[in-house]
Each structure stands twice: as structure tokens, then as C-alpha cells.
């Protein structure tokens, strides 16, 4: 049975999903499932193994065989906000530009998506979760009790990403980040397997110009309102 006690939050890069989802989960007492971190961890593992898509471009068939092999030996765990890969905390490696340059290509691979989808369902079967990503409401949890599509204007998403980078001590131009965001939007929404897309029954929220606290408050109201309606 596919879990249903899920707040499924989808949306493009930089819409603020992780921050909002983490705070929402804490306020609801739900678990938090950052599925982008899972794809990033697998991408990092492929880079470590020397078989990431860009590294295998000359021999794609062999590349796929090596990635399948690397995936089979990757044991992922999400523990208290950290991502463990074969028992090692890899959280600090997930937001590097190297990972960011390859993660869209890795997340377009159906065999990777299938493994991640199964693991996401196992995590959600353990108890209610706020799960954020690109295909939570459309593919992984199609019967989720609450579905949200969180959006924001590209320029605002680029500005927020630059602030995140600045907090990590990385100074990057907003123009470059905007360009990368637009490329990822295109790759994530045009891939054939589970493209980024709003589920027809999702609550659409544009967070442009809103503070995180305002977005969290609106989503809490949505979840609690829907809960009350569903229980009556």
C-alpha cells in the first residue's frame, strides 16, 4: 500500500521547499523527507565512483552499467536531517557545484528514480511525513492527503539561492544562478520520467514576496483545514 499520510510538496529549484517543509514538519510533528537530498547523495556517490553522466559521456552503455552497479551498492539512510551513504554522513557534500551540475542528469535516469521512489515510500510508511521534491504528489504519493505546489518567480528563486550560497561562504553572481536555475527547470520539467509538474489536485502557492513564516503559516492552515474537513 502506498502511504497517504503525506504532505506532498513539489515545485521548482529555489522555491523554498526545503526550508518550508522542514518547519512545517516540525510544527505538525511529522517526519521530514528531503528527496532532492537523496538524488544529490546518489549523484555524489556516482562522482566518487567515477561514473557520473558527464564522466561516462563517451561510452554511455558502459556508463549506465557502472551506475547501476554503483546504485546497487549504495545504502542510503536519512537520519535526523543528515544523509548517510553506506553509513557515512555525506550531507556536507550535497550542495557542491559539482553535484549540482550532474544531479539533473542523474535524476532523469529511470532506474535511479525507481530505487528512490521505493525508498521514499518505505520512509513514509513508518509514519506521517512532509515530503518535498518534484514528483511527490504526481507520482510517488498519488493518494497523498495533502498536496502543495510551491512556486516563486525565477528572479526571486535566484536571489534566495545566492543568499544560501553566501551563508556557505560562496559568492556567486545572481545572473549565473538564475541561468543555472532556468536550465534545471527545463531539464526537470522536460524529462520523460516523472517530470516536474503540478498535480491537478494540488494547492498552488506562489511564495514570491512572502516570508518563510508566512508560507509555513498558510500551509499549516491548509493542512489543518483539510484535516478538519476530512475528519467530519
Q: Cβ of residue 231: shortest distance to ligand DC, in angstroms?
A: 29
Helices (H) and strands (E) in the chain, counts: 8, 8
Q: Cβ of residue 120: shortest distance to ligand DC, in angstroms?
A: 8
Which residue number, 149 or 227, has a Cβ lying nearer to ligand DC?
A: 149
Question: Which candidate, 88, 98, 100, places its Cα nearest to that of 37?
Answer: 100
Q: Cβ of residue 232: shortest distance to ligand DC, in angstroms?
A: 32
Q: Cβ of residue 193: shortest distance to ligand DC, in angstroms?
A: 9
Which residue number, 70 or 194, has a Cβ lying nearer to ligand DC?
A: 194
Which residue number, 15 or 28, has a Cβ lying nearer to ligand DC?
A: 15
Dist. CA 31–CA 91, nearest whole Å = 18
**Residues at the site binding ligand DC, with contacts judged by CB under 6 A:** 13, 35-36, 39-40, 103-104, 107, 133-135, 184, 188
Contact 19, 11 (CB under 8 A): no
Which residue number, 135 or 151, has a Cβ lying nearer to ligand DC?
A: 135
Which residue number, 151 or 188, has a Cβ lying nearer to ligand DC?
A: 188
Contact 36, 83 (CB under 8 A): no
Q: Cβ of residue 183: shortest distance to ligand DC, in angstroms?
A: 10
Q: Distance of CA 158 to CAs 13, 81, 102, 175, Å?
A: 9, 24, 19, 8
Q: Where are the beta strands (DSSP E) in the chain?
A: 6-10, 31-34, 76-79, 82-85, 88-89, 129-133, 146-151, 203-206
Amino acid at each position: 500500500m502506498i502511504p497517504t499520510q503525506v504532505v506532498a510538496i513539489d515545485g521548482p529549484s529555489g522555491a523554498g521547499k526545503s526550508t518550508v517543509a522542514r518547519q512545517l514538519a516540525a510544527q505538525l510533528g511529522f517526519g521530514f523527507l528531503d528527496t532532492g537530498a537523496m538524488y544529490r547523495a546518489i549523484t555524489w556517490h556516482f562522482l566518487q565512483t567515477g561514473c557520473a553522466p558527464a564522466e561516462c559521456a563517451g561510452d554511455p552503455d558502459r556508463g549506465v552499467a557502472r551506475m547501476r552497479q554503483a546504485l546497487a551498492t549504495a545504502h542510503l539512510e536519512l537520519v535526523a536531517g543528515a544523509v548517510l551513504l553506506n553509513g557515512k554522513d555525506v550531507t556536507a557534500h550535497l550542495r557542491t557545484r559539482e553535484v549540482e551540475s550532474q544531479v539533473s542528469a542523474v535524476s532523469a535516469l529511470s532506474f535511479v528514480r525507481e530505487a528512490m521512489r521505493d525508498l521514499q515510500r518505505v520512509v513514509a510508511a513508518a509514519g506521517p511525513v512532509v515530503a518535498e521534491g518534484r514528483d511527490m504528489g504526481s507520482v510517488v504519493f498519488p493518494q497523498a492527503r495533502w498536496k502543495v505546489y510551491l512556486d516563486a518567480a525565477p528572479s526571486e528563486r535566484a536571489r534566495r539561492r545566492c543568499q544560501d550560497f553566501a551563508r556557505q561562504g560562496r559568492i556567486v553572481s545572481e545572473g549565473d544562478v538564475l541561468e543555472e536555475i532556468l536550465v534545471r527547470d527545463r531539464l526537470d520539467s522536460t524529462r520523460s520520467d516523472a517530470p516536474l509538474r503540478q498535480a491537478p489536485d494540488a494547492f498552488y502557492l506562489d511564495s514570491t514576496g512572502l516570508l518563510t513564516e508566512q508560507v509555513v503559516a498558510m500551509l499549516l492552515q491548509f493542512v489543518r483545514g483539510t484535516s478538519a474537513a476530512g475528519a467530519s
